[in-house]
A and B are shown apart, each in its own frame.
Chain A
Amino acid sequence: MQRKGTISAILSTIFMGLGQIYNRQFIKGIIFLLVEAACVYYFINNLGRALWGVVTLGDTPSHLAKVNGIAKMVAGDHSIYILIQSLITLLVLALFLIAWYMNIRDAYKIGNLLEKGIPANTGKQTLRYILDYKFAQTFLILPAVGILFFTIMPIIFMILIAFTNYAAPNHIPPAKLVDWVGLETFKNLLVLKTWSHTFYGVLTWTIVWAILSTVTTYFGGMLVAMLISQQGIKFKGFWRAILIVPYAIPQLISLLLMRNLFNGQFGPINQYLGYFGMGGLPWLTDPFWAKVTVIVVNMWVGIPVSMLLIMGVLTTIPRDMYEAAEVDGATAYQKFRIVTLPMVLFTTAPTLITQFAGNINNFNAIFLLTNGNPVNGNYQYAGSTDLLVTWLYKLTLNQNKNNMAAAVGIIIFVIIASFSIYNYRRTNSFKQEDMIQ
């Protein structure tokens, strides 16, 4: 019955585009043919090596060899290049398989239509069809390719690295090969004393930091917002404009500046303390005070944002709720506790969780201000104020402990992802996306 459909599907399976040509869609068929020809040519050259590469990560290390009687260093396999090249080839293969599947399905469908006597679309009609009904997908191709190669591929690569022994000093290409080691890196990180001590220490501080920095900026911002929006306060716009200044200065600048201001020897803060007859504080050099400093500076940077947000919410609280509270004889504090706080918390709860997740990853605040210092002798390559992210950065860029860094990255991801997914599922934009209009 559906002879034409089956035949064109089989033809397309044998070689992309044949089915389309059988269906007399010549332009489409030829495009498909050319695509497959290009891909086949590419795969003949690369696929075998890619599979070999992913499995072995190279098998010839650099070695001395006799060339014309003289011992010479011969370059071996560079495991990391091999891995990344293999990954690219496999991604192209995945894209090709999708295209191939779509081509078979297309041939089958058109073949069936022909069987029923409906003529196939001409090239022009196909174009119209794509623009009218496949518009979204067409629009998404370009961003998707960018994301595939510059986000997804690198992430897959780093996840794979966590399962290798790619780390200084013994497994850095091109001199040495890298091998798969399975879960050993994670085991070392979580159980082996030298690593786990640092990991749990840094993890604890990361969580303490995330909670403290979120809570201080949030309630600080709420306080400022309520101060300004009080009845009887004049020049509301003026106060707001001044208090928003820290937000408009780029973080790179304000944090590097704060590093100078809080400098223990030359910084003006200690100068002022000295002026008032108090001794200076070791702001950035003592582990405890360094932690206090990053929290305080983060308040300076973060309060304006919360202030703006909460001022927005405050204007939406209906006045009659306050009037009703006043009729019942509520004091200012009671009005705050019963009307303001719940309303503000209710509207801003999702933002609060987003900020918390963001603070876990707040690389700038720590790296620019303290560089993770002061040094902590008990830690492996981490300072007292290092967060997991800054530790990860140091592990890769300064220490070449790439596998450990990748493992830390995966753990950070799991933490952030669980918060964010919980948050996202709760928000209305996900649940009732089509409710608007």
Chain B
Amino acid sequence: MIGRKLGNLIRLIGSYIVLIILSISALYPALWIVFGSLRPGKSLYSKHFIPDTFTLAHYKELFTSQVYMFGTWYMNTLKIAVFSMLIGVFLTLLTSYAVSRFRFKGRQTALSTLLILGMFPGFMSMIAIYLLLKEFHLLDTHMALIIVYAAGAPLGGTFIAKGFLDTIPRSLDEAARIDGASNFGIFTRVILPLSRPMITYMALTQFVGPWVDFIFARLILRTKENWTVAVGMWDMVNSNTNTNFTLFSAGAVLISIPIMVLFAFLQRLLVDGLTAGASKG
């Protein structure tokens, strides 16, 4: 009996040690970049993990510098992300509602087509889209990015959204229909309110995608004033590695904060599990 207790104790202590090591390695890079952004000077190299003195100069420089138009990039990104999120979520909802709730000719074909199209490497079609946008004189505009991100949204989101909508009981639709609701009424009055967690999830992914995408943005946005933060940050690291690490850190913190806040927000909503009790009520 004593042997067993001792074994248990050793196991627990061992587990705690492993957990502490894992936690340190999980937090270390994150803390490092936060401290890096507050450290005076420019270099990646530092004697101490926690800086001796703290400064906000790098954050200030980001917004005042002539070379890094961070403020402009930030607003550009915000604009692009918000608009493509709104349109993208709308399109995804249309698609997923149609394929989840209705049985029509060609439905299986539509689903399979969506699935297969999603498997092509995204930027395989970049050249074609580039030429298409050139045809319509949309190169170097934010409109182009918004259109492309939003039009691609149903490809990634439909299956997840459909899976969620499938779990909303049909009995709710039927009850509403008996009460005289039209298809459109059911969509806006029953499905949309119940899908809040899923819509939030979709909105988040649709927002984060453009927020951090640099492949497409780099191809389409040619002038520096039109860049997004992702393109700017990538350029910062790629053109002058190690020369201005602290500035990069400050930018990284500013990019990460909105996303981390959204994550925290999302977790709360997802746990709500709004649909769980719907059938009973």
A residues with a Cβ closer than 8 A to B are 80-81, 84-85, 131-132, 134-137, 139-140, 142-143, 146-147, 149-155, 157-158, 161, 224, 227-228, 230, 232-233, 239, 242-243, 245-246, 248-254, 256-261, 263, 266-268, 271, 300, 304, 357, 361, 363, 368, 389, 392-393, 396-397, 402, 405-406, 409, 412-413, 416-417, 420-421, 424, 429, 433, 436-437
A243 CA / B30 CA spacing, docked (Å): 12
Whether the Cβ atoms of B237 and A249 lie closer than 8 Å is: no
Residues of A within 8 A of B225 (CB): none
Whether the Cβ atoms of B19 and A396 lie closer than 8 Å is: no
Whether the Cβ atoms of A433 and B166 lie closer than 8 Å is: yes
Whether the Cβ atoms of A233 and B128 lie closer than 8 Å is: no
Residues of A within 8 A of B163 (CB): 429
Whether the Cβ atoms of B110 and A140 lie closer than 8 Å is: yes
Given the contacts A143-B154, A227-B19, A266 and B44 also touching, CB distance less than 8 Å: yes
Give 20 CB contacts A-B under 8 Å.
Answer: A84-B135, A85-B135, A136-B104, A140-B95, A147-B117, A151-B155, A154-B124, A154-B127, A233-B12, A239-B19, A246-B29, A249-B30, A251-B212, A252-B233, A253-B233, A256-B248, A260-B245, A363-B215, A396-B126, A409-B121
A153 CA / B135 CA spacing, docked (Å): 14
A151 CA / B104 CA spacing, docked (Å): 23
Residues of A within 8 A of B29 (CB): 246, 254, 257-258, 261, 300
B260 close to A (CB within 8 Å)? yes
Whether the Cβ atoms of B154 and A252 lie closer than 8 Å is: no
Given the contacts A139-B98, A420-B119, A253 and B104 also touching, CB distance less than 8 Å: no
Whether the Cβ atoms of A232 and B8 lie closer than 8 Å is: yes
Pick the 3 closest A-B CB pairs, nearest first.
Answer: A154-B125, A154-B128, A136-B102
Known: A246-B30, A258-B29, A392-B121. 16 other contacts (CB 8 A): A132-B183, A139-B98, A142-B94, A143-B154, A155-B120, A158-B128, A161-B127, A232-B8, A249-B259, A252-B212, A261-B29, A261-B32, A397-B219, A406-B124, A412-B121, A436-B166
B15 close to A (CB within 8 Å)? yes
Whether the Cβ atoms of B255 and A250 lie closer than 8 Å is: yes
Closest chain B residue, CB of each to CB of A430: B111
Given the contacts A154-B128, A245-B27, A245-B30, A252 and B135 also touching, CB distance less than 8 Å: no
A397 CA / B19 CA spacing, docked (Å): 44
A420 CA / B116 CA spacing, docked (Å): 9
Whether the Cβ atoms of A131 and B183 lie closer than 8 Å is: yes
Given the contacts A143-B154, A253-B252, A151 and B125 also touching, CB distance less than 8 Å: yes
Residues of B within 8 A of A300 (CB): 25-26, 29
Closest chain B residue, CB of each to CB of A230: B15
The distance from the CB of A385 to the nearest CB of chain B, in whole angstroms, is 16
Among B8, B18, B127, the one with the most A-chain Cβ atoms within 10 Å of its Cβ is B127
Residues of A within 8 A of B55 (CB): none
Closest chain B residue, CB of each to CB of A161: B127
Whether the Cβ atoms of B230 and A252 lie closer than 8 Å is: yes
Residues of B133-179 contacting chain A, CB below 8 A:
135, 147-148, 150-152, 154-155, 163, 166-167, 169-171
Closest chain A residue, CB of each to CB of B218: A397
Closest chain B residue, CB of each to CB of A297: B29
A228 CA / B114 CA spacing, docked (Å): 38
Chain B 169-197 interface mask (CB, 8 Å, partner A; 1/0): 11100000000001110000000000000
Closest chain A residue, CB of each to CB of B230: A252
Residues of A within 8 A of B43 (CB): 266
A409 CA / B116 CA spacing, docked (Å): 14
Whether the Cβ atoms of B121 and A413 lie closer than 8 Å is: yes
Given the contacts A158-B128, A417-B119, A131 and B184 also touching, CB distance less than 8 Å: yes
Q: Which of B148, B166, B211 contacts A250 (CB 8 A)?
A: B211
Whether the Cβ atoms of B115 and A420 lie closer than 8 Å is: yes
B86 close to A (CB within 8 Å)? no
Whether the Cβ atoms of A437 and B125 lie closer than 8 Å is: no
Residues of B within 8 A of A405 (CB): 124
Closest chain B residue, CB of each to CB of A157: B128
Q: Which of B27, B102, B132, B219 contacts A149 (CB 8 A)?
A: B132
Residues of A within 8 A of B44 (CB): 260, 263, 266-268
B234 close to A (CB within 8 Å)? yes
Closest chain A residue, CB of each to CB of B154: A143
B203 close to A (CB within 8 Å)? no
B99 close to A (CB within 8 Å)? yes
B33 close to A (CB within 8 Å)? yes
Residues of B within 8 A of A143 (CB): 91-92, 94-95, 154
Residues of B within 8 A of A233 (CB): 12, 15-16, 19
Among B30, B46, B245, B260, the one with the most A-chain Cβ atoms within 10 Å of its Cβ is B30
Whether the Cβ atoms of B12 and A409 lie closer than 8 Å is: no
Given the contacts A136-B104, A242-B26, A392-B124, A149 and B119 also touching, CB distance less than 8 Å: no
Closest chain B residue, CB of each to CB of A419: B119
